[in-house]
């Protein structure tokens, strides 16, 4: 176990999005729970608690944010606590004397009542993951009524603790997956150059017979090593017996392999031969050879570049010729070949594992977006319904009606964002396959032009529409293709300055229906073009940032086009406008 952190030391957390989520949860609990100060901490790998979210007190934030609290101290304090469901309560008289070294004590006057809250009282909820491991702690302080919570308030706090527990588990999962994504990017760069696509076990199995036969060996022991704790072995003997090795000897053998790889040397292990180990270690190795009835061993390090990935031990029986220098040199060459193959296979296996995890992460992200959008839809409908009722009131002043109009515009904008989120999730889910039907693109384009015509007129942007006289029919979902057209036209109008123009062209080119939308707007830099279609990406151009938007429009466009087996082409230059060309399979 790592050394215990020093009480009061600080830890910088690298995931600001998850931290912001936990902070919002802490603030929500502070508003609803009857306690003014709420903190959420995460258990780290060094068995410490990092406080990542503090609501209700700037003083508490200064004293606690990112502070590492030894879990041993917290466990000792919680051991003295009263059990309140998910909550644990430690009254002031039982609080440990060491609490001041790591905790925060508010300044407040205690009420002169029996159940008064004491500044040293401690009320917290341990948070656990699905396996029951402690992953965080939610704590509350400074009750607004100055009293220790009664049964009803405890029930409310227990519900908040359950919500905080789910958020903490998701935050930690997000952190782990973010790290896995970073590692997978590096793995992909390596695997592109890999020449072997076999598993490590297959490499070991396939190489055994050839090595034993080619070197006239009685048996073979091939072992790969990688990251700490990662060891894969394949042992082959002439008798077929399993070979077990003492852990101390196994560690010694691995060290010898590392040293041999640095020296680029194959080592002959036999009585009368020098070994690069201490006399005691040499005797340990020779004792093992006698126990196994082995006369000599050719010990070959395996590796690629500077990395040693394991070792190969070829054995001969007593009385058989001891290994020659030529055999040792040939075995070392094979050690290079096997090392490269093992390293490539390991990279390949890791890549497949990470790809599966990335797919799981993408599925999780889609489910999360869909869930959040659905959860927002109902309260937003309530808000808009009440706004409609308020607008019917006769006694409202003009100023009040202006406020209601602003609220209504905000609600409408939020509604559009929610609709975009739901559509983005739907077109990305495997459970919603595309049902393709012939779609008349002339009608779709005409409808999209009607949608943006008023906005274009108010902004002074001219719309030029060139639709052919003959039908242009594509295979796909009419609603999704309509959204593509509306999003492209809306963006073109939005980013075109007053007096400019937007041109829409529709044509049939072979087996493809081609929709072209060109504008005289602000244009897109080459760097931004590479990221267009990424969820929530906004251009780095200050003129584009000044316009409202969520970065979902073009993400929806790209996802819809991809699932229609189409293609999106972008031609743009800063200050000179943009052209988006959509190619879809024709019906």
Quick: pLDDT tens for 124-173: 999 998 888 898 999 999 999 999 999 989 999 999 999 889 888 888 88
**Average pLDDT in the 538-547 region?**
64
pLDDT of residue 365: 66
Cross-strand partners of 506? 515
Of 186 and 175, the one with more pLDDT: 175
> Which range scores top for mean pLDDT: 38-47, 340-349, 365-374?
38-47
**Alpha helices by DSSP H, 87-228:** 151-191, 200-214
Neighbours of 444 (CB within 10 A): 23
Q: 213: burial class by Cβ within 10 Å (0-12, 13-18, 19+)?
A: exposed
In a domain, 192, yes or no: no
Residues 377 and 494 placed together within one structural domain of the fold: no
Same domain, 464 and 324: no
Average pLDDT over residues 228-247: 52
Classify residue 11: in a domain, yes or no. Answer: no
- Residue ending a domain, choose from 329, 352, 375: 352
Helix (H, G, I), strand (E, B) or coil at 514: strand
- Domain span including residue 505: 437-585
Same domain, 168 and 35: yes
Mark which of 392, 407, 428 sits at the end of a domain: 428
Domain match, 449 and 424 both: no
Integer Cα distance of 556 and 579 in angstroms: 17
pTM: 0.38
Q: How many CA atoms lie within 13 A of 312 on its CB side?
A: 29
474 in the same domain as 393 = no
- Give the mean pLDDT of 217-235: 63
Q: DSSP assignment of 472-540, as one string?
A: -EEEE-HHHHHHHHHHHHHHHHHTSPTT-EEEEEEEEETTEEEEEEEE-SS---HHHHHHTTSTT---S
Same domain, 166 and 217: no
Same-domain check for residues 560 and 465: yes
Mention every residue, 6+ apart, whose C-beta is less than 8 A from residue 234. Answer: 201, 204, 205, 208, 222, 223
| 44-58, 367-381, 397-411: range with lowest mean pLDDT | 367-381
Of 183, 217, 236, the last residue of a domain is 183
pLDDT digits (tens, 9 = 90+) for 87-133: 999 998 887 655 555 678 888 888 889 899 999 899 999 999 888 88
Q: Do 74 and 147 reside in the same domain of the chain?
A: yes
Q: Is residue 576 part of a domain?
A: yes
The owner of tokens 């584009």 is 544
Any residues with CB less than 8 A from the CB of 41 and at least 6 apart, and which? 49, 50, 51, 52, 69, 136, 137, 139
CATH number at residue 97: 3.30.450.40
274, 346: one domain: yes
> Are 391 and 444 found together in one domain?
no
The answer on 51 and 120 residing in a single domain is: yes
The CATH number of whichever domain residue 545 belongs to comes to 3.30.565.10
Residues 400, 526 share a domain:
no
């Amino acid at each position: 176990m790592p050394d215990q952190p020093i009480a009061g030391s600080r830890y910088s957390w690298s995931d600001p999005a998850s931290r912001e989520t936990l902070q919002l949860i802490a603030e929500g609990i502070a508003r609803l729970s009857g306690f003014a100060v709420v903190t959420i901490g995460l258990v780290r790998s060094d068995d410490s608690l990092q406080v990542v979210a503090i609501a209700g007190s700037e003083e508490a934030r200064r004293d606690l944010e990112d502070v590492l609290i030894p879990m041993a101290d917290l466990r000792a304090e919680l051991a003295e606590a009263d059990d309140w469901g998910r909550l644990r309560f430690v009254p002031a008289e039982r609080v440990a004397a060491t609490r001041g070294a790591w905790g925060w004590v508010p300044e407040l006057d205690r009420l002169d009542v029996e159940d008064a809250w004491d500044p040293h009282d401690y009320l917290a909820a341990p948070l656990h993951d699905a396996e029951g491991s402690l992953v965080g702690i939610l704590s509350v302080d400074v009750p607004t009524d100055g009293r220790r919570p009664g049964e009803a308030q405890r029930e409310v706090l227990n519900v908040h603790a359950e919500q905080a527990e789910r958020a903490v588990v998701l935050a930690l999962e997000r952190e782990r997956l973010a790290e896995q994504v970073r590692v997978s990017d590096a793995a992909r760069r390596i695997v592109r150059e890999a020449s072997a696509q076999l598993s490590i076990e297959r490499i070991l199995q396939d190489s055994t017979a050839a090595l034993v036969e080619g070197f006239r060996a009685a048996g073979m022991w091939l072992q790969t090593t990688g990251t700490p704790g990662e060891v894969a072995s394949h042992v082959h003997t002439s008798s077929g017996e399993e070979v077990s090795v003492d852990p101390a000897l196994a560690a010694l053998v691995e060290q010898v392999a590392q040293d041999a790889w640095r020296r680029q040397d194959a080592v002959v292990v036999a009585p009368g031969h020098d070994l690069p180990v201490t006399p005691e270690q040499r005797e340990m190795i020779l004792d093992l050879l006698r126990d196994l009835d082995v006369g000599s061993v050719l010990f070959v390090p395996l590796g690629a570049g500077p990395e040693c990935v394991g070792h190969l031990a070829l054995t001969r029986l007593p009385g058989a010729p001891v290994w020659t220098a030529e055999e040792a040199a040939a075995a070392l060459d094979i050690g290079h070949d096997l090392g490269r193959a093992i390293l490539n296979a390991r990279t390949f296996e890791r890549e497949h594992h990470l790809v599966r995890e990335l797919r799981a992460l993408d599925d999780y992200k889609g489910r999360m977006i869909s869930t959040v959008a659905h959860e927002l839809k109902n309260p937003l409908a309530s808000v808009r319904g009440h706004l409609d009722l308020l607008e019917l009131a006769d006694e409202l002043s003009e100023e009040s009606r202006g406020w209601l109009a602003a609220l209504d515009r905000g609600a409408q904008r939020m509604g559009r964002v929610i609709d975009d989120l739901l559509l983005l999730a739907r077109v990305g889910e495997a459970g919603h396959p595309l049902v393709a039907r012939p779609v008349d693109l002339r009608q779709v384009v005409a409808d999209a032009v009607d949608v943006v015509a008023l906005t274009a007129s108010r902004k002074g942007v001219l719309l030029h529409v060139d639709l052919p006289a003959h039908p242009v029919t594509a295979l796909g979902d009419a609603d999704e293709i309509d959204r593509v057209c509306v999003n492209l036209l809306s963006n073109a109008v939005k980013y075109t300055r007053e007096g400019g123009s937007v041109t829409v062209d529709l044509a049939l080119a072979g087996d493809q229906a081609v929709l072209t939308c060109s504008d005289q707007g602000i244009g897109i830099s080459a760097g931004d073009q590479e990221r267009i279609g990424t969820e929530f990406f906004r251009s780095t151009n200050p003129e584009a940032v000044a316009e409202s938007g969520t970065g979902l429009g073009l993400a929806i466009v790209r996802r819809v086009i991809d699932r229609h087996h189409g293609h999106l082409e972008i031609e743009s230059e800063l200050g000179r406008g943009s052209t988006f060309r959509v190619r879809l399979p024709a019906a």
